[in-house]
């Protein structure tokens, strides 16, 4: 009996593989509680009935899900068909619009053929006006005026009537402001890079003035800048008097190039900078000029004092400590000699005094002759440097040659500046010394004549 029960349980286990775990556990529990074969048979029948009902329920659920999936598929297929029809409709509409746009563009070209050239001129005028406004001094007072003209010149669409009128007003404003003298307060970039609020006077579209002199407008940074160096005094001297004038007419130097000449004037070298371009040769020439002037000064003072002493001695018979007095002493100490011997004594005395009187005259002459020779030396060395630059870098950039040429020219100028006054002063000193020697010779001749009369 027990073996049969075990066989039935094994069979039920094999059948239970199609059941869920919960039902299998419940069936095993009931089978294990069966006390007889009849009860076991009844339990098995109930289990099969429950299993059959469970399978039927599952089949019904599967069929319901299949019908629902089929419905979703049918709906998706219907949506795809509708979208395909819509795509075909939109594509047909797109092709029709393309043809319509092409036809309208062709009509636009035909209708705007007469205006095309005019709009091209408008764009060209806009670009020219933008460049003119950008570089105009008036933009220092009204910055950003060129943006509209720049945008209009770069636009590919046809401008409107309002935009054409605005362009006309912008150009007319520039012409009107060109003829005005206006004062306004603006930021000026100083030499140290700082900004300072300054009262600026605008002379039309030509100059910007402040209390410190001329200022310029830099279009690259859209700001006013102080000049690194003001122009020559002949130009800047008129700024103060002009700003102080409240009515009437005042003189003022105006830059017709609207700032270009002012920038060029700031690049001009000063006399000091030109002098230093002469280099070592220029310094040597300057030293020679200084030495020559000191010698000339010393000679003029000495000869002037000697001339006064000789002039005073000529009216006094008592010999003094001066060239004429010493000659008179020789005469008085040798009166017992005959005329020829006395003449020799007097000539000897004059020869002793002559070097003292003519001392330094020849040095002045030598310095006057050496200065232009040194200038020529600087010229030659400067030209050698210039030719070396040409050999190395060619003649494409004139600035490479400017240094050597400047040195060459400045040494020549310095040599002439040194030689001309030294020659002139040498003539004065030489003439003064010769006149004094002539006075001594004249006085000695008079003494000889007086001695000859006494002897006769």
Q: Determine the Cα–Cα distance for residues 377 and 225; give it in Å rounded to an integer.
A: 43
pLDDT digits 0-9 by tens, 234-281: 777 778 777 877 777 778 877 777 777 777 777 677 777 777 777 888
Query: Nearest-CA neighbor of 298 among 359, 256, 237, 382?
Result: 359
pLDDT in tens, the chain (456 residues): 434 444 444 444 444 443 444 444 554 555 555 567 777 777 777 777 777 777 778 887 877 777 788 888 888 888 888 999 999 999 999 999 999 998 888 887 776 666 667 777 888 888 888 888 888 888 888 888 888 888 888 877 778 888 888 888 888 888 888 888 888 888 888 877 788 888 888 888 888 888 878 888 888 888 888 877 777 777 777 787 778 777 777 788 777 777 777 777 776 777 777 777 778 888 899 999 999 999 999 999 988 888 888 888 877 777 778 888 888 888 888 877 777 887 888 888 888 888 888 888 899 999 999 999 998 888 888 888 777 777 777 666 666 666 667 777 888 899 999 999 999 999 999 998 898 888 888 888 888 887 777 765
Per-residue pLDDT at 32: 53
pLDDT (0 to 100) of residue 397: 65
* 167 domain residue, yes or no: yes
In this structure, are 160 and 191 located in the same domain?
no
274 lies in some domain? no
**Dist. CA 224–CA 419, nearest whole Å:** 47
DSSP letter for each residue of 64-81: HHHHHHHHHHHHHHHHHH
As beta bridge partners, residue 201 has: 183, 209
Shared domain for 200 and 224, answered yes or no, is: yes
Residues 261 and 144 in one domain: no
What is the pLDDT at residue 292? 93
Domain boundary pick from 232, 267, 302: 267
Tell me: do 150 and 71 sit in the same domain: no
Do 312 and 216 lie in one domain? The reply is no
C-alpha span between 228 and 231 (Å, rounded): 10
pLDDT at res. 418: 92
- In a domain, residue 313? The reply is yes
For residue 434, count other CB atoms closer than 10 A to its CB: 14
Domain membership of residue 96 (yes or no) is no
pLDDT at 370 (0 to 100):
92
Domain assignment of residue 106, yes or no: no
Which one, of 292, 282, 290, 285, lies nearest residue 425 by Cα? Answer: 292
Residue 251: phi, psi to the nearest 5? -80, 140
Q: Are residues 291 and 437 in the same domain?
A: yes
Distance CA 207, CA 262 (A): 9
Question: Is residue 143 one of the residues assigned to a domain?
Answer: yes
Query: Which tokens is 269 given?
Result: 């070298």
Domain boundary pick from 65, 82, 99: 82
Q: Is residue 92 part of a domain?
A: no
Q: What is the domain extent for residue 162?
A: 112-178
Could you tell me if 310 and 425 lie in one domain? yes
- Assess whether 165 and 198 both reside in one domain: no
Task: Based on the fold, state whether residues 283 and 428 are members of the same structural domain.
Answer: yes
Domain count, the chain: 4
Long-range contacts of 142-151 (CB under 8 A, 24+ apart): 142/177, 143/222, 144/222, 145/170, 145/173, 145/174, 150/126
Q: Could you say which of 233, 267, 301 is where a domain stops?
A: 267
154 and 170 together in one domain: yes
Residues 8 and 43 occupy one common structural domain: yes
| Whether residue 307 sits in one domain with residue 389 | yes
pLDDT of residue 424: 93
CA distance 185 to 13: 107
User: Is residue 11 situated within a structural domain?
Assistant: yes
Q: How far apart are CA 286 and CA 94, in angstroms?
A: 91
């Amino acid at each position: 009996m027990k073996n049969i029960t075990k066989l039935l349980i094994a069979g039920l286990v094999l059948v239970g593989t199609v059941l869920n775990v919960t039902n299998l556990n419940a069936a095993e529990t009931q089978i294990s509680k069966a006390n007889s074969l009849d009860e076991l048979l009844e339990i098995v029948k109930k289990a099969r009935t429950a299993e059959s009902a469970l399978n039927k329920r599952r089949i019904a659920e599967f069929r319901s899900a299949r019908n629902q999936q089929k419905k979703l598929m049918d709906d998706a297929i219907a949506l795809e068909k509708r979208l395909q029809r819509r795509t075909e409709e939109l594509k047909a509409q797109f092709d029709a619009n393309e043809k319509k746009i092409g036809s309208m563009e062709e009509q636009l070209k035909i209708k705007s053929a007469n205006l095309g050239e005019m709009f091209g001129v408008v764009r060209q005028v806009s670009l020219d006006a933008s460049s003119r406004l950008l570089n105009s001094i008036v933009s220092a007072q009204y910055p950003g005026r060129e943006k509209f003209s720049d945008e209009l010149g770069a636009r590919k669409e046809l401008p409107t009537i309002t935009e054409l009128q605005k362009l006309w007003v912008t150009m007319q404003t520039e012409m009107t402001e060109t003829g005005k003298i206006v004062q306004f307060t603006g930021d000026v970039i100083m030499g140290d890079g700082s900004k300072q609020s300054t009262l600026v006077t605008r002379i039309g579209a030509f100059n910007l003035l402040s209390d410190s002199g001329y200022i310029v407008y830099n279009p690259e940074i859209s700001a006013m800048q102080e000049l690194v160096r003001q122009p020559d005094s002949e130009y800047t001297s008129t700024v103060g008097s002009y700003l102080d004038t409240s009515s009437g007419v005042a003189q003022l130097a105006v830059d017709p190039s609207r700032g270009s000449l002012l920038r060029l004037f700031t690049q001009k070298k000063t006399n000091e900078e030109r002098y230093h371009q002469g280099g070592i040769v220029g310094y040597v020439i300057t030293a020679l000029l200084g030495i020559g002037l000191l010698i000339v000064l010393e000679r003029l003072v000495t000869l002037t004092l000697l001339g006064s002493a000789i002039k005073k001695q000529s009216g006094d018979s008592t010999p003094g400590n001066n060239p004429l007095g010493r000659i008179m002493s020789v005469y008085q100490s040798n009166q017992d000699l005959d005329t020829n011997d006395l003449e020799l004594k007097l000539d000897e005395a004059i020869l002793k005094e002559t070097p003292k009187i003519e001392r330094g005259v020849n040095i002045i002459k030598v310095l006057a002759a050496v200065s232009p020779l040194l200038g020529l030396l600087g010229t030659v060395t400067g030209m050698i440097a210039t030719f070396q630059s040409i050999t190395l870098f060619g003649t494409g950039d004139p600035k490479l040659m400017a240094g050597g040429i400047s040195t060459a020219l400045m040494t020549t100028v310095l040599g002439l500046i040194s030689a001309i006054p030294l020659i002139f002063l040498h003539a004065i000193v030489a003439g003064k010394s010769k006149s004094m020697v002539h006075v001594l010779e004249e006085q000695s001749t008079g003494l000889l004549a007086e001695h000859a009369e006494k002897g006769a």
